[in-house]
């Protein structure tokens, strides 16, 4: 089953076509702003005439506008193609990358840049089910830290500083997916 994965909640524009854990096509670049203008042409280029059997969209937390752009595009494509659309936490995508790199990890503190100099995140276990993400101001405990939000916290020694990457959507089990509804830090 092919899945189109979209992530626009961060400064990265990340799109992937995956089949299980195999990435068939991927576009991931830091664009800062401009997701609304760049998303649809990037999807068209990536798909090259193909269609997916389902869509997974990053629902946040992250950029308010970016989250809404991604969800709107995913819902529109899902409606046009007649395929299901599922939401995934930005923290799950950040954590999936860490678990793929190090299968020995049991849990990570996945942090995203929530804007205005704040980090948002949650402790994510291997099942990638993410509890409600909240603003994180300090690091507590011995959990490994991952994600771009770690750069905002003093003393963080992250395993990676990456933004959510749609290429890791195939690592997210169906039990960690939800509705395509925006999730903001502190919701």
- Please report the domains of the chain, with CATH numbers, ordered by start residue: 2-89+168-176 (3.30.420.40), 91-152 (no CATH)
pLDDT at 138: 81
- What is the residue-averaged pLDDT of the chain? 92
Q: What confidence tens digit (pLDDT) does each residue in 27-43 have?
A: 999 998 899 999 999 99
CA-CA distance, 173 to 176, in Å (whole number)? 6
DSSP output for 107-176? EEEEEEEEETTEEEEEEEETT-PPPPPEEE-S--SS-EEESGGGGGSTT---S--PPP-GGGGGGS-GGG
**Which single residue is written with the structure tokens 């949650």?**
122
Q: What confidence tens digit (pLDDT) does each residue in 113-169 have?
A: 887 888 999 999 999 998 877 888 887 766 899 999 999 888 888 888 899 999 999
CA atoms within 13 A on the CB side of 46: 26
3-state secondary structure of 18: strand
CA-CA distance, 47 to 6, in Å (whole number)? 12
| CA dihedral (16, 7, 149, 61) positive or negative | negative
pLDDT at 38: 95
CA-CA distance, 185 to 149, in Å (whole number)? 12
> Are 186 and 119 contacting, i.e. CB atoms less than 8 angstroms apart?
no
CA atoms within 13 A on the CB side of 126: 7
pLDDT beyond 60 at 187? no
3-state secondary structure of 51: coil
Q: What confidence tens digit (pLDDT) does each residue in 76-125 have?
A: 999 999 999 999 999 999 999 999 999 999 999 999 988 788 899 999 99
> Are 121 and 109 contacting, i.e. CB atoms less than 8 angstroms apart?
yes
CA-CA distance, 90 to 57, in Å (whole number)? 9
């Amino acid at each position: 089953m092919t899945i189109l994965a979209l992530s626009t909640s961060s400064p990265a524009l990340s799109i992937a076509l995956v089949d299980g854990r195999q990435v068939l096509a991927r576009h991931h670049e830091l664009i800062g702003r401009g997701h609304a203008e760049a998303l649809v042409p990037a999807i068209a280029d990536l798909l090259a005439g193909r269609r997916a059997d389902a869509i997974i969209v990053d629902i946040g937390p992250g950029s308010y506008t970016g989250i809404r752009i991604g969800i709107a595009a995913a819902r529109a494509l899902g409606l046009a193609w007649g395929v299901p659309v599922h939401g995934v936490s930005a923290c799950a995508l950040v954590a999936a990358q860490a678990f793929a790199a190090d299968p020995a990890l049991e849990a990570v503190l996945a942090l995203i840049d929530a804007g205005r100099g704040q980090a948002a995140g949650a402790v994510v276990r291997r099942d990638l089910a993410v509890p409600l993400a909240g603003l994180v101001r300090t690091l507590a405990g011995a959990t490994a830290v991952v994600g771009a939000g770690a750069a905002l916290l003093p003393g963080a020694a992250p395993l990676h500083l990456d933004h959510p990457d749609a290429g890791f959507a195939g690592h997210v089990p169906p039990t960690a997916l939800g509705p395509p509804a925006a999730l903001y830090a502190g919701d």
